[in-house]
Chains A and B, each alone.
Chain A
Amino acid sequence: MQELLAQYQSVAAPEVIKWVNVGKAIDFPENGGACIKYKNKQIAVFNFTRESHWYACQNLCPHKLEMVLSRGMIGDKEGIPKVACPMHKKTFSLKDGNNLNGEDYKIAVYPVKIESENVYIGFID
């Protein structure tokens, strides 16, 4: 189980080695999320239309280790964009992956860019 978690490490935009095309922008719901596969990773991608911004994070919820975060609801806490896990509603910042309920969980976040209507996610592997 720990191995599963260890696969996911945050990537900052300047570190990106490879931008991966993960689909067309219109295939992602507005103000919602969907999941993509890259190698053996599952990544949740959010089209935060209200903020005109895209976010990506691991699909794995660190609480019970289920692949569900892309199915969660997004929103903000005092301006910080966040996702709420659909299982037990723990919430995570989409900016830095920190848990917003004051718990010790953290998720990995990835940079996203949109080019000619395609969605790209930045990886270092």
Chain B
Amino acid sequence: MRKIVVVGNGMVGYKFCEKLMASPDRENFQVQVFGEEPSPAYDRVHLSEYFSEKGKNELLLAPRSWYEDNGIELRTSSLISEINTEKKEVVTYKGEKVSYEYLVIATGSSAFVPPIKGSEKTGVFVYRTTEDLDAIKTYAKKLQKKYKSKATVLGGGLLGLEAANAAKELGLETSVVEFAPRLMPRQLDEAGSNTLIGKIESLGIKILTNKATSKISGEEEIDALTFSDGSRHETDMLIISAGIRPRDELAKSSGLKTGERGGIFVNNKMETSAKDVYAIGEAALYNNAIYGLVAPGYNMAEVAVSQICGGDKTMAAHIDMSTQLKLIGTDVASFGDPFIENEEISAITYENKQSGIYKRINVSRDGKKLLGGILVGDASDYQNLFQIYINGMKLPENPEDLILGSRGGENTAMGSVTDLPDTAQICSCEAISKGDICKPLESGECCSMDDVVTKTKASTGCGGCKPMVTDLFNATMKSLGKEVKEVICEHFDFNRQEIFDLVKINKVQDFDEALNLFGKGHGCEKCKPVLASIFASITMETANKQVTIQDSNDKFLANIQRNGTYSIVPRIPGGEITPDKLMTIGAVAKKFDLYTKITGGQRIDLFGAELHQLPEIWKELIDAGFESGHAYGKSLRTVKSCVGSTWCRFGMHESVSFAIQIEERYRGLRSPHKLKGGVSGCIRECAEARGKDFGIIAVESGWNLYVCGNGGATPKHAILLAEGLDDETTIKYLDRFLMYYIRTAAPLMRTAPWLEKLDGGIEHLKKVVIEDSLGIAEDLEKEMQGLITNYECEWKQAIEDPEMMKRFKHFVNSDEGDDNISYVPLRDQKMPRAWT
């Protein structure tokens, strides 16, 4: 047994262990790892998610038990303070000596804090570790209690923008200060930066460029920055993100060769100047550079493993620095050499100021090679362009088609994934090539997308290559003549449409029967709600009938909230409400001490009801003439409307009346995903109808009907289906459209992605709905009418039946409520205490 000591348990140090464990020579080595941080290695690339949804455990690259199971001795909270390369031993901060045969230094880097006066003040942070983030979060909370909320990020690079977004998400009023004249100066040109500034400012983050910070002021706590031009910028908090410095202090003091500007010198075998000592990751100085990205670090880990095991892998001479920014709401990518300008090159650019898109590609003069480029505002072509660049693939006849799309023909300029060479690198974080993904599929070793991901780890890093891995998977399976079947889960070998038909044709009554007839096992949280939705879409049964297969919200006919309490949204069709009903809502909210808010869907949400209070509250609402708003269901939500010709001087038709008619027609209708509608009284479109699954807009000649739009995570405008319709035809088309969607969409697929997948797209849909090309129009209308006739308010049903009411007790054996719930005051109302 030969002993390897690894100093640093960050992303790259971990990758070294992982690669070594996978090596056939693993048995020859004993491994001991020292990490300075208290927790085992975690995913720093997704550090920002630590603020939003992910806890520490979810960010871990592997749980502590993984190290144990693999016989690796991991010591966290253990700084190594000295290396003795003569005696081949390291010394811990406690003075304990540990000998090694091979030493791997993976100490990473630390945030660079420029020498600005005042940087020691309270309220100044860096952004590198989970501890940094904890400190930032705690401080932000403290500020908010004092009604302070200004945060500033120093540095407008990749990390700085990410930190700014995180600060904004914490509810802080955020600015970014950049020394250079543009944002992401290493990746973007001026036009690209300008487009990005527009995008980011529209997210509510202020950008200041060309500002050199000369002083940080404040008594104890920071209160402002002063710039070299004399101007002042007030702030309550500062996050410094001005670059990284390799952590070479340990190596340097131990006599290893380091670079003038920092970094542990290594050759292409990752060997340092001392025998049997390797350095990898952000601490290593390779080709005279430090690479602040994880992919080259992973590569180095692989090389070091190979070298130590007697293999011959070496680092490539050229390191690719292409990147994609993970900021939510902004697409930015840059690849290859984004800037080159000389006679040999022609740069092709496309700019659309209105929609905030800028694209640039640098193409060799002979039109044969793609050398680099920039994408801002729309980076959907990044993976394809990157593949063409990195593999030196042939360009289309008109290279501009690459960023403009080919105009005229049906084919895209990109070609297909199957054209890529086997060596094409698909996942750069894990260095996985096309061959790595396709071969195990061809040999039968892998059969599903999950298998591929588990085996290769492709797309588990930044996730940017996921669409391409999926495409490759699908294309390979197809070429093997295997049908890629989307099945619901391990219990049903069918897709939603097939189960829909099976349930309907066989008149299946309940979930157990379906499982016995067409499935196996006992079901799960994936198939149960899908079947619940199918039963409802066929028979209009309410969520009271098969309670235990309903999804979290449907089960209790209310939306579960942060603290396990529920919210209540009565239906307010078209947003129209009488003063009396408004007063009822007020009175109920007051009586039960509920937080009250106007929703984005033109109605009122009452939050903070405990499970056992729900029936009482609903009883009062129902007595006053309200009914369920189905805000909890994958079902019709609201049909939003503008005031229309009832009051508006521009209104062409009565949009409110029509919206109410439609909302009442489809209320309670369960569907693969939620459904929203809108009716606007004229093309000014105050109801935002084109942002809905169906939108109706009044024009001189009648109604224009648009379908398949949504807001949400991937906004899409609805597309015109038919023009100048009367009320009756509009409803007829809507019936057909909705029922066709309900029959055929995949689970949790809204109308827009459904249309995108529908063979023939909108033209096909028009034929089915308007011309009845499939001959099913009558069936669709009949089915819809059946559902409409069978509608019942499920809340009314529930409170009238003692058996159904049983489920609204918190305890079976006590009438008490949940004593774990607690609130904090908020602007004269209340909110749940924060999650820890």
Contacts and interface: CB of A to CB of B under 8 A. Distances in A.
B563 A28 contact: no
Interface in A20-74: 22-23, 27-32, 34-37, 42, 45, 48, 50-51, 60, 63-68, 71-74
A37 B811 contact: yes
B354 interface: no
A75 interface: yes
B814 interface: yes
B807 interface: yes
A67 B528 contact: no
Interface string B264-299: 000000000000000000000000000000000000
- Most chain B CB atoms below 10 A, which of A51, A74, A91: A74
A84 B524 contact: yes
B695 to A, nearest CB: 32
Interface-central residue, B512, B816, B820, by most chain A CB under 10 Å = B820
B522 A104 contact: no
Contacts of A68: 560, 564
Given A71-B556, A104-B60, A37 B814 contact: yes
B547 interface: yes
Contacts of A86: 552, 555, 560
A16 interface: no
Interface in B516-536: 521-525, 527-529
B525 A91 contact: yes
B512 A50 contact: yes
A57 to B, nearest CB: 15
A90 to B, nearest CB: 10
B812 A35 contact: yes
A103 B63 CA distance: 7
B522 A75 contact: yes
Contacts of B491: 75
A65 B548 contact: no
A76 B523 contact: yes
A73 B806 contact: no
B835 A76 contact: no
Contacts of A89: 525
Contact of B525 (A50, A66, A73, A79): A73
A125 interface: no
A35 B820 CA distance: 14
B381 to A, nearest CB: 33
Interface string B598-615: 000000000000010000
A29 B555 contact: no
B522 A48 contact: yes
Contact of A66 (B512, B524, B809, B820): B820
Contacts of A76: 521-524
A89 B525 CA distance: 8
A111 to B, nearest CB: 17
Contacts of A82: 524
Given A27-B812, A35-B810, A45-B812, A67 B818 contact: yes
Contact of B806 (A27, A35, A63): A27
Interface in A69-112: 71-79, 81-82, 84, 86-89, 91, 103-105
Contact of A67 (B55, B527, B813, B820): B820
Given A64-B835, A87-B560, A77 B524 contact: yes
A75 B521 CA distance: 8
Contacts of A32: 547-548
Given A30-B548, A76-B524, A84-B525, A66 B57 contact: no
Interface residues of A, number: 46
Nearest to A87: B560
A36 B522 contact: no
Interface in B46-96: 53, 55, 57-58, 60, 63-65
Given A30-B548, A67-B820, A81 B812 contact: no
Q: Which of B524, B562, B812, B820 has the most chain A CB atoms inside 10 A of its CB?
A: B812
A104 to B, nearest CB: 4
Given A36-B813, A37-B813, A67-B564, A51 B556 contact: no
A64 B55 CA distance: 9
A82 B299 CA distance: 39
Given A75-B525, A77-B524, A82-B524, A22 B812 contact: yes
Contacts, number: 117
B355 interface: no
A65 B835 CA distance: 8
Contacts of A29: 547-548, 806-807
A115 B126 CA distance: 61
B549 interface: yes
A6 interface: no
A14 B572 CA distance: 57
Nearest to B836: A1
A65 to B, nearest CB: 7
Given A66-B564, A68-B560, A78-B490, A37 B816 contact: yes
Nearest to B546: A31
Contacts of B810: 35
B295 to A, nearest CB: 24
A65 B563 CA distance: 9
Nearest to A66: B564
A75 B63 CA distance: 26
B58 A103 contact: yes
A112 to B, nearest CB: 13
Contacts of A63: 55
A30 to B, nearest CB: 7
A91 B552 CA distance: 13
Contacts of A67: 564, 818, 820-821
Contacts of B611: 71
A105 B57 CA distance: 8
A82 B629 CA distance: 32
A81 B522 contact: yes
Nearest to B832: A66
B813 A22 contact: yes
Contacts of B812: 22-23, 27-28, 34-36, 45
Nearest to B810: A35
A20 to B, nearest CB: 9
Given A36-B811, A79-B521, A31 B548 contact: yes
A104 B552 contact: no
Given A4-B820, A78-B490, A84-B525, 18 more contacts: A23-B813, A27-B812, A29-B806, A35-B812, A36-B813, A42-B818, A60-B820, A63-B55, A64-B835, A71-B560, A71-B611, A74-B522, A76-B521, A77-B524, A87-B560, A87-B564, A103-B58, A104-B60
Interface of B: 53, 55, 57-58, 60, 63-65, 490-491, 512, 521-525, 527-529, 547-549, 551-552, 555-556, 560, 562-564, 611, 806-807, 809-814, 816, 818, 820-821, 835-836
Question: Closest 8 A-B residue pairs measured CB to CB?
Answer: A75-B524, A32-B548, A86-B552, A84-B525, A76-B522, A66-B564, A104-B57, A23-B812
Interface of A: 1, 4, 22-23, 27-32, 34-37, 42, 45, 48, 50-51, 60, 63-68, 71-79, 81-82, 84, 86-89, 91, 103-105
18 contacts: A4-B820, A29-B547, A29-B807, A31-B522, A36-B813, A50-B523, A68-B560, A73-B524, A73-B549, A73-B555, A74-B548, A75-B491, A75-B524, A76-B523, A84-B525, A86-B560, A89-B525, A104-B57
